[in-house]
Amino acid sequence: MADQNCLISNDWICGEYVRTRGQELTDATLQHVGITLASVAIGLVIAFPLALLARRRQGVAGPVLGMTTILYTVPSLAMFSLLLPVFGVSQAVVVTGLVLYSLTILVRNIMAGLASVPEDAREAARGMGYGPLRLLLGVELPLALPALMAGLRITTVSTVSLTTVGAIIGYGGLGNLIYEGMHSFFKAQVLTASVLCVALAVVADVVLLGVQRVLTPWARKRRRA
């Protein structure tokens, strides 16, 4: 009875809301995770060759960094509105917008990571007969992983947050529930969806930190020393 009363009294914390709206919360969370994963993955696929191109050709670095910075300054509402005529009211609008936002952080961190690789390591690899591709994959990328993973963590957390803005077109994951709850002043819905959104960001960051530690065991040994 007390749980049912929390819905009637519109309390912020209400177990009955979670119990009766479990499927709705699950669907919104899955949509949120799906949009985030797709956006970060596509952003990484685009950012990596852009960073390599900008690093190899000095004349390209300025325009690439400048363009990605300009894209990041566009307000999310304006970005989604500009993409609507191209994609229509669809999940692609949100994913594309988030991909464009992710490029600033990813491109800069990939470039910073590659720039931090000691020249001695490159020279030693070349002396062992490493070609450009093998040098990149076998030496430069492993040594650049800490910076790359740092950028990936920041991008993922910010994407989890920005996904909620997609609620303006109905593809915001947990943002849909927050948006609807604020309009109807449904306190339990707003708080529950907000807490889940924060939890997703924290879990994503912890998971990526764990992946970073697994992939860079030498970094842990260096800190201990």
| CA separation for the pair 145, 152 (Å, rounded) | 10
Q: Please check the confidence at residue 121 and state whether its pLDDT lies above 60.
A: yes
- At 10 the three-state DSSP class reads coil
Question: Is 17 part of a structural domain of the chain?
Answer: no
Question: Is 4 part of a structural domain of the chain?
Answer: no
Question: Is 7 part of a structural domain of the chain?
Answer: no
Question: Is 29 part of a structural domain of the chain?
Answer: yes
Q: With CA atoms as reference, report the closest residue to 164 among 76, 38, 41.
A: 76
Pick the residue with more confidence: 134 or 30?
30
Handedness of CA 41, 121, 147, 207 (dihedral sign): positive
Q: Which domain holds residue 205?
A: 23-224
Residue in this structure with the two tokens 């692609």, named with its chain if needed: 92
Domain count, the chain: 1
pLDDT confidence band for 185 (50 / 70 / 90): confident
Residue 92 φ/ψ, nearest 5 degrees:
-60, -30
Question: Is 6 part of a structural domain of the chain?
Answer: no
Question: Is 187 part of a structural domain of the chain?
Answer: yes
Question: Is 3 part of a structural domain of the chain?
Answer: no
For the residues 13-19, what does the mean pLDDT come to?
84
Residue in this structure with the two tokens 């076998």, named with its chain if needed: 138
| CA separation for the pair 209, 225 (Å, rounded) | 20
Residue 159 φ/ψ, nearest 5 degrees:
-70, -40
Question: Is 9 part of a structural domain of the chain?
Answer: no
Helix axes 22-56, 141-163, angle to 10 degrees: 140
* Residues 128-174: tens digit of each pLDDT: 878 878 888 787 888 888 889 999 999 999 999 999 999 988 899 99
Handedness of CA 146, 147, 150, 151 (dihedral sign): negative
CATH of the domain at 172: 1.10.3720.10
The average confidence (pLDDT) of the chain is 87
